[in-house]
Amino acid sequence: MTGEAARGRLALPARTVESRVVVVARAQRAEDYDAVLDVLLEAGIRSVELTLTTPGTFDRLPELIERYGDAVDLGVGTVTDGDQLARAIDAGAHYAVTPITSPALVAQATDAGVPIIPGGLTPTELFASWSAGASAVKVFPAGVVGPSYLKDLRGPFPDIVAVPSGGIDLDSAGAWLAAGAVAVSVGGPLLGDAFRGGDLRALRDRAAAFVAAAVPEAA
């Protein structure tokens, strides 16, 4: 089974694919999301993964989707079990991200009509998720292998849709995309100290730089 999953594969949200950048937002508290999301949207970011390491994410998600959902794809990340995934789905997440390889989570999300991006590093892990019907696979931690790893993976798995995550900075983002990534997942190098009271104008400049690197014609 090289491209077709046992169950129907869901496509990633269109804005995520078109923008090619997913911002991983790890805040100290969910109340801090809004100011940062305002700046990210202004800079052209169209996909944000809200992580469950941020307390209160589930409670805030419906409100954030109502406020921002017409302009940005809001996913829920760091999902590690079925209960968390069910809550993310019920709260209206546009997609789900998990750092682990779990065909059961892939099946649960797909059956609910929600795209899912499960994590893995080895060819066996990544292909297991892809074969189970994942919308894309998360190469994690991408920083330990580099963009050439994806080129090697696409030899035996030419149809696999990959989103590298972990250690992606502005310089490497373009290389991963050139290697065939559908999008890059970026955290600290883009967000910097924004969730710790940092300069939001500097955040806007960093986000705009990533947007320009991912979609040069948007610059």
Give per-residue pLDDT as tens, 74-130: 999 999 999 999 999 999 999 999 999 999 999 999 999 999 999 999 999 999 999
- Please tell me the distance from the alpha carbon of residue 152 to that of residue 160, in angstroms, as a whole number: 12
Indicate the pTM of the whole model.
Answer: 0.94
Query: Which of 42, 125, 138, 217 is the catalytic position?
Result: 138
Distance CA(82)–CA(189), nearest Å, equals 30
Q: Is residue 114 helix, strand or coil?
A: coil
Active site residue 138: yes
49 is catalytic: yes
DSSP state of 7: S
Return the DSSP state at 161: -
For position 95, what pLDDT does the model report? 98
Domains present along the chain, CATH in parentheses: 14-214 (3.20.20.70)
pLDDT for res 61: 97
Of 4, 18, 42, 49, which is the active-site residue?
49
Mean pLDDT score, 182-200: 97
pLDDT at 73 over 90: yes
Residue of higher predicted confidence among 216 and 156: 156
pLDDT at 218 over 70: no
Nearest-angstrom CA–CA distance, 164 and 42: 24
- From residue 194, give the alpha-carbon distance in Å to each of 21, 28, 58, 189, 198: 18, 11, 21, 11, 4
- The confidence score (pLDDT) of residue 8 equals 84
Question: Does 3 have pLDDT greater than 50?
Answer: no
Contact by Cβ (8 Å): 23, 190? yes
Q: How far apart are CA 162 and CA 151, in angstroms?
A: 11
